[in-house]
Chains A and B, each alone.
Chain A
Amino acid sequence: MIEIAGMACIAIGLLFDLLGCIGLVRMPDIYNRLQAATKCVTFGTCSIMFGTFLMVGFSSTGVKALLCIVFVALTAPVSAHALSRAAHKSGIKLWDKSVIDKYREDYPNE
């Protein structure tokens, strides 16, 4: 029973990984790519880790899988934040059909 639950977790994670990478190819500019890819791939990898934990149980490997979930969920949004700020400061424009850019209005010369 618990093996089937683990396999279901791994399958859901793989589905979201694939959707995130499709979003990385399809979206028009770097900020939208970061949105789609970071959310879907982080959730997918955490779900694969949780499936591994369910299959292995409370052994040394399972506890390492739980720790790895915490690491990935804490570090992936921080790196996305750093990348988007660096891209905006290095002068990459938003997509042409974007609605508003308050950050460019407040810091016009960076």
Chain B
Amino acid sequence: METTPLSEAESGARAVQEAATPREPRRKGKPLIRSTGIRFAVTYALVFGLSAFTLAFSLWYSTVGLLQRQVQFAILNDATALNEHYQIGGLPSLINAIHSRLTDSGDSDGIYLLLDPLGNHIIGNLDQWPAGLNRINTWYELPVTRKGTRSISLLRAYTLSGGEQLLIGRDVSARAQLRGVMRDALLWALGLMIFLGLLGAVLIRSMFRRMMRDISTTTRAIALGDLTRRIPKHGNGDEFDELAEIINDMLERIARLMDGVRQVSNAIAHDLRTPITRARTRLEDAALHAHTKEDLQLAVERAMLDLDGVVGVFEALLRIAEIEAGSRRSAFAAIDLAPMLRDIDELYRAVAEERGLILDTRIDEPLPLLGDRELVQQAIANLLDNALKFSATGTTIRFTARVEEALIEICIADRGPGISEEDRSRATERFFRAESARSTAGSGLGLALVAAVAQLHNGTLRLANNNPGLRAIITLPARRG
């Protein structure tokens, strides 16, 4: 009973270890074609081979075809010329013309044969009518015997108006030879190209695998929890560098979010435990030690207040999460911030006067914004809450809003203790509270919400020294038009 879960745990650990060594990208027993590298290489070789074949074939076809057409053209011209001789001068003129062509040394490839209607030889350099040539006005490519040697010829037969049969042809054996040479050369070239194609495919595959290896080792390491790993860049700015950059950006964001989650869970563990513990202690103490009904009542009321505080923190956390998720952008509307800011000013002015503070407000108008009215309202209210909370009696809080170069700048500056230089960058983290602020009430979520709201509107929250005091500046892009 005890050994089974142990061995399971062991094998689980081994599985993790195996996965942790990302050395062999292709697992054993996996069919070769399932490898993307191989598929890539085969596709490359196919495309390369096919295009090489097409090139060779078209070269061969056009060269050989051109030669063939040239010979055909010569024969047709010859036939027209001879036919004219026959039409004008009759048979003797034709015989004369053929004779002069046969004795003329210029064109030794010419083949002529003239037979009378009975099939007797009149003139020509062929001893007999070639076997197999039995239709007139048709191209034939046949072996013929001329002066005792056999050779390949292109032939065409005509019947003259007097019933004589005329055969005109050209010896094409030299051309056939040329064709053979060319075919051989092209076949060699094709073979070489296929070889080069395969070589290219292998190269591409290894390149592909190298790129993939960088990405897969990194992502696998990250999947196993090492969030610090990044994909190395080769620095030549190619597509893989681009991809690496995109993935690295994504990893950066994931790391930040993970940090956020870690922070929040730490904070929940810490900052919510305290008030919950307090409430619990109060209730238990009352249950054990309360002697009068009033004591009990008081303890219960105090505990309820503590729990209300916990609920408040929860709500603020959820609100921030909701804002950071960006889903509120769909509810953005075109608004003017100026009347809204004046309303807030009016709401808080009374409190400031009550506490002996001077609220010095200057709001320009209009302040056109595409955004969420309620969220901006809450952000500004948070900043004013803070300023009021930390200001000493008699000091001034400056509240200004203006548009400058398409940016709305809302600034709330107080003369309180401010936030020290090193704390300022962390002040917008959830639950962060500066040492000096620990004694005052608050959840440490106010500025986090303000920052989230600013970010949702593609703006920023900047905290600066007001010498003394804090100057919180929200910058939001103004709505155009």
Say if A and B assemble together.
Answer: no
A residues with a Cβ closer than 8 A to B are: none
B residues with a Cβ closer than 8 A to A are: none
